């Protein structure tokens, strides 16, 4: 267990898929910086501040050592952010095969941009391999039950967005 990893993503919102990756990541890394992409181009349901707050609350709900998880936001190139934060590792979760090509492309592009930063993948827990923020939002919007799919602190905020 050593080193700092950056766990980047949109986290709109954080799901139980993300928290299980985070939990596994803590077995391998001393500290994980969960970095929310601050990207005006992408239409998001939650503001970056809301997403960061939900990640902090979910990490606390997981019982994680607060000294080992930091929540931050970034814009610009991920490898530049990782370097500024002295992180040599980018942590990503892998779910179904469908994730693979996109992740392979990103990992190789990031390696091309900065060969000193390695991307490390953790396989998603099979209980959550079908959980994606976009699907969770759609199901919640349509009134479906997502209570098992998101961390406890996220549920009321998600339902409030859709007046449920």
User: Which SS3 state, helix, strand or coil, does residue 8 take?
Assistant: strand
Which of 7, 8, 21, 153 binds ligand PNS (CB under 6 A)? It is: 8
Which of 33, 37, 55, 149 binds ligand PNS (CB under 6 A)? It is: 37
Please list, in sequence order, all residues whose beta carbon lies within 8 angstroms of the beta carbon of residue 46, skipping any fewer than 6 positions away.
Answer: 12, 13, 54, 157, 161
Give 98 or 109: the residue with its C-beta nearer to ligand PNS. Answer: 109
Residue 13 engages ligand PNS in binding (rule: CB under 6 A): no
Piece of 8-16, 50-58, 63-71, 139-147 that binds ligand PNS (CB under 6 A): 8-16
Report how far residue 38's alpha carbon sits from residue 59's, in angstroms, rounded to the nearest whole number: 20
Question: Of the residues 18, 31, 51, 137, which is catalytic?
Answer: 18
Give the interface size with ligand PNS as a residue count (CB under 6 A): 9
Residue 77 engages ligand PNS in binding (rule: CB under 6 A): yes
Cβ(34)–Cβ(28) below 8 Å: no
Piece of 23-31, 64-72, 106-114, 150-158 that binds ligand PNS (CB under 6 A): 106-114
**DSSP sequence for 74-139:** E-S-HHHHHHHTT--EEEEEE-STHHHHHHHHHHHHHHHH-TTSEEEEEEPPGGGTT--HHHHHHH
Interface ranges with ligand PNS (CB under 6 A): 8-10, 37, 77-78, 106, 109-110
């Amino acid at each position: 267990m050593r080193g700092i990893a950056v766990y980047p993503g949109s986290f709109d919102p954080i799901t139980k898929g993300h928290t299980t990756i985070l939990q596994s990541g803590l077995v391998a890394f001393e500290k994980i910086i969960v970095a929310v992409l601050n990207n005006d181009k992408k239409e998001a349901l939650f503001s970056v501040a809301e997403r960061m707050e939900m990640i902090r609350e979910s990490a606390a709900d997981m019982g994680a050592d607060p000294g080992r998880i930091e929540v931050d936001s970034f814009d610009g190139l991920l490898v530049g952010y990782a370097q500024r934060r002295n992180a040599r590792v980018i942590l990503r979760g892998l779910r179904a095969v469908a994730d693979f090509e996109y992740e392979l492309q990103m990992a190789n592009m990031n390696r091309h941009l900065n060969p000193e930063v390695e991307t490390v993948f953790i396989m998603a827990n099979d209980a959550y391999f079908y959980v994606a923020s976009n699907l969770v939002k759609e199901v919640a919007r349509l009134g479906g039950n997502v209570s098992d799919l998101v961390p406890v602190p996220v549920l009321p905020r998600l339902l409030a967005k859709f007046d449920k």
